[in-house]
Structure 1
């Protein structure tokens, strides 16, 4: 089985954090979003993963090496494909057409999940969905009386269904998917926003007799903006609390209280502070005289006199102050003077 992970988007809603780091490489509980996604699918799938293909923008050689390393750690071949223009979900997948063979999972790298990940071999595909209050912002599915999908609709203006597609799909025959996307692109069949949409390919496959079943989702965790990413970090820390029980020996914790669950990275220094619950602290960060909860702090930053909740701090940030809820990108300097 292969995993295809489109991740070429700019992540504009998560700025300033995505100005220097691609959104899928933002760490959640000490691991990049895309790494957690690949690990979850590999762990939960009942088929061996042979290849993980990443569809990226111009992210640079170091990012490509990091992605290849993620795949290899999971016992799979890593492949890199480029999408130079954001022309839709189907177009993104088309960039990896050489890897669209055999059983395939397609997973967009802006979401994490908790779900039953059984790959039903009696179905042509599985689409994981979550019930939402406002389906107009999502692709949705409509079911028949037997629980089989009878319609795929992208961002419906009128109510069709409240079962939103979370961006994870299984296809028993990746070759079939490839040919449907080829048909859409070669015939310039554009959907919402003038883009080539995966839901159009799915609807074509369904109309030709392919049967798609639902994959129920217990928890759908978005990483689209700062607040959603901080919330997802808190949920991951809670779900996997045993993973975060041990503080590394390289960390220096002095006259401080750590309230679990927390992720504490290597060479972290925490002095005269209270940290937690639901805080991730990246490698090499120093926290002094601070009170921090429900926040995500990345690597090699300095937090002094902080009183933070629901905050997201980037890499190499120098923060001195009392702001309560902030979002600071990489290399920012914030110094509140008395």
Structure 2
């Protein structure tokens, strides 16, 4: 099994945090988004992962540190890491085709801006599986249309009339991804574009037209990381899941508490110091941070940051930040100073 991860986008909706760190590398509950996504997919597949192919953008943005992080992720799962580049933002289908040498055999394609919780078996009869989530407002999503045998027959974007309540979440399984490669090559050769981009859906629809069987794989939880607000919501939900699972150490042994307390669930990284402070619930803190005379809840704070005399709620703070003030709902990027 292979996993293909297109992740070349800049993540403009998550600025200022994505100005210095590519969005898939921003940590949620202590781990980068793409790390959690790939590990969760591997857990659902429950079979050996042979290769993980990452499609990155400009090397000036997705540099050596990003590549090293992704290679370490693949190695931790016993897989080979392949690195490809998408030089132009020409759509989801184009991004996949940038990894053309890896598009053989069974594979999962997953776009790195979402997290999941799922427990299902891949349908052995299916040529492909589109992972979906049941939603209350399907008119706001791209959804699948099903026939009487629960095969997917159509993909409908933001339907005005009810089609189904199964929203497409951006994760796909192909029994042989080379078939998708063939169809996407046709899309590129014929210059079939939607919104000025080459889309994965156009390749999928050509597979359906040939009678390929598409099934749904419904996830239990689908968590977005598109902007600051939903990323904080995802951090809160993920912390709750991790605490219930009890599979990860959420608070590092190096934590130093001085007249302070933690209200679970929280993730606390290495070498964090709390002085006269209360952290939690639903807070993720990176490594080498210091909090003094501060209360923080429902927030996400990255590495090497110092916060003093603050009362924070729904805050997202980047790396190497110094903050001392009375604001609450804030969004601060890397290397900022507020005193």
TM-score interval (norm. to shorter): over 0.9
Alignment match, 2:203? 201
Q: Decide which of 95, 100, 104 is 2:98's aligned counterpart.
A: 95
| Structure-to-structure mapping, 1:1-338, within 5 angstroms | 1-58=1-58, 59-156=62-159, 160-191=163-194, 193-241=195-243, 242-243=246-247, 247-335=251-339
Q: Residue 101 of structure 2: SS of its match in structure 1?
A: helix
Q: Residue 200 of structure 1: SS of its match in structure 2?
A: helix
1:329–1:143 Cα change, 3 Å: same
For the 8 Å contact 1:317–1:333, the answer to whether it is kept is yes
For the 8 Å contact 2:251–2:266, the answer to whether it is kept is no
Which shows bigger deviation, 240-249 or 49-58? 240-249
Per-residue CA distance 1:90-133 (angstroms, 9 max, x = gap): 11101111111000000100000112342222110111112334
Per-residue CA distance 1:225-282 (angstroms, 9 max, x = gap): 0011111111111001124656323221111010111111001111101111110110
- How far did 1:156 drift? 4.5
Q: TM-score, normalised by structure 1?
A: 0.95
Which shows bigger deviation, 94-103 or 42-51? 42-51
For the 8 Å contact 1:147–1:213, the answer to whether it is kept is yes
For the 8 Å contact 1:112–1:222, the answer to whether it is kept is yes
Structure 1 residue ranges without an equivalent (≥5)? none
Q: Distance in 2 between matches of 1:78 and 1:152?
A: 31
Q: Distance in 1 between matches of 2:249 and 2:188?
A: 49
* Root mean square deviation of aligned Cα: 1.4
For the 8 Å contact 2:54–2:83, the answer to whether it is kept is yes
Q: Distance in 1 between matches of 2:91 and 2:139?
A: 17
Which shows bigger deviation, 75-84 or 247-256? 247-256
For the 8 Å contact 2:92–2:199, the answer to whether it is kept is yes
Q: TM-score, normalised by structure 2?
A: 0.95
Q: Residue 17 of structure 2: SS of its match in structure 1?
A: coil
Q: Distance in 1 between matches of 2:105 and 2:229?
A: 38
For the 8 Å contact 2:250–2:266, the answer to whether it is kept is no
- How far did 1:46 drift? 3.1
Q: Distance in 2 between matches of 1:308 and 1:263?
A: 16
Q: Distance in 1 between matches of 2:179 and 2:251?
A: 48
- How far did 1:155 drift? 4.4
Structure 2 residue ranges without an equivalent (≥5)? none
Q: Residue 240 of structure 1: SS of its match in structure 2?
A: helix
- How far did 1:150 drift? 1.0
